[in-house]
Amino acid sequence: MSQPSAPSEVRTGGAPGRAARPGRSRHPLARFLLRRLAIAVLLAFGITLVTFVLTNLVPGDPVTANLGQNALGDPALVAQWRADHGLDKPLPQQYLTYLGGLLQGDLGVSQQSHRPVLTDLAEFVPSTIELAGSAILVSLVVGVAFGVVAALRRDRPSDQALRVLSLIGISVPTFWLALVAFYVFFFRLQITPGSGRINPDMSAPPAVTGLFTVDAALAGQWDVFASAAGHLITPALVLAAYTIGLLTRFTRSAVLEVLGQDYVRAARAKGLPGRVILFRYVLRSALVPIITVAGLAFGSLLSGTVLVESVFARPGIGQYAYKSATTLDLPAVMGVGLVVGCVYVVINLVVDVLYGVIDPRVRLS
């Protein structure tokens, strides 16, 4: 198939002959997906440009930050270091080199660890994904459940209690909550383990995904799994507190709004059981705003990991970003920027796709 035919196929909604097939209804979704993917790729490109420009605008000289005092007095050595790290070239050329490397999966070498940034990220990102992923999972389950309960029991004491709880979740600073949770659950009640990702006397499970819980389960090391899961609970709950609060409030109002719609009243009048009405009519309609909020919340969750990782001494992308920024390790900073930016892009993509799946009208618009 020649290349130009692919886009035209998308534009026209299908090649001749296909349109007649019964699966035609899928095409708007495929088209929608492709368009979103194209936008995502463009965004990722934009992110590389923004991170590169911003990183290079930062005042401060990476040479001073990385070479010893002795070396700074040696101009030849400084020049050599600049040349080695490509800093002697004009900025546009540096960007093109960076982009060229990026396309081949090369994010440069960290000036601090002297390892490829990709290797560093591969080490740190899974820990953060494990933490933020568990937090979002907990938030979705708990937040939506709380919201539904609050809506169904509107203005009753349980609703009031949940509203207060959600307000607390939203307003309490994450680092403070982390310290308090650490103190209460680890120190006072002694039901959760301490700092890090696993007990210090254990070795990390053989790396497959980098997620200790998954890797330990894959390797059948159940004691390591228990330790990794245990070390995850408090930080994940702390991180989830804000999102739970947010989702409770949004789910509550979304469900209340749907409950007032004519078709729900009609369904009730028809005598459908409450559970059917809730799951098939109410929740399905309420999901769109909930997903929007969850997507946005995931972003704030990522920034929250910096502090939570610090309190619970979990090696993650937050600590890596902090250390890289304070030492002007430009390739590492750009790597982190790129990863975080791309995570946002992926979240947006997923949210958009979920809209399309849940609400067919979105695909057509």
Residues contributing to the site for other proteins (CB under 8 A): 67-71, 74, 77, 80, 112-115, 123-124, 138, 141, 179, 182-183, 186-187, 190-196, 199-201, 223, 225-227, 229-233, 279-280, 310-315, 319-320, 323
Shortest reach from residue 135's CB to other proteins, in Å: 13
| 4: amino acid identity, one letter | P
Closer CB to other proteins, residue 26 or residue 35? 26
Backbone angles phi, psi at 244, to 5 degrees: -60, -45
Which C-beta is closer to other proteins: that of 222 or that of 263?
222
Judged by CB, which is closer to other proteins: 146, or 225? Answer: 225
Give me the least distance between CB of 263 and other proteins, in Å please.
Answer: 17
Nearer to other proteins, 45 or 263 (CB): 263
Closer to other proteins at the Cβ: 47 or 132?
A: 132
Give least dist CB 345 to other proteins, A.
Answer: 26
Nearest to other proteins of 227, 305 (CB atom): 227
Q: How far is the CB of 141 from other proteins (least distance, A)?
A: 5
Alpha helix locations (H) across 153-221?
157-171, 174-181, 212-219
What is the closest distance, in whole angstroms, from the C-beta atom of residue 127 to other proteins in the complex?
9
**C-beta atoms surrounding 86 within 10 Å:** 14
Nearest distance, CB of residue 75 and other proteins, angstroms: 12
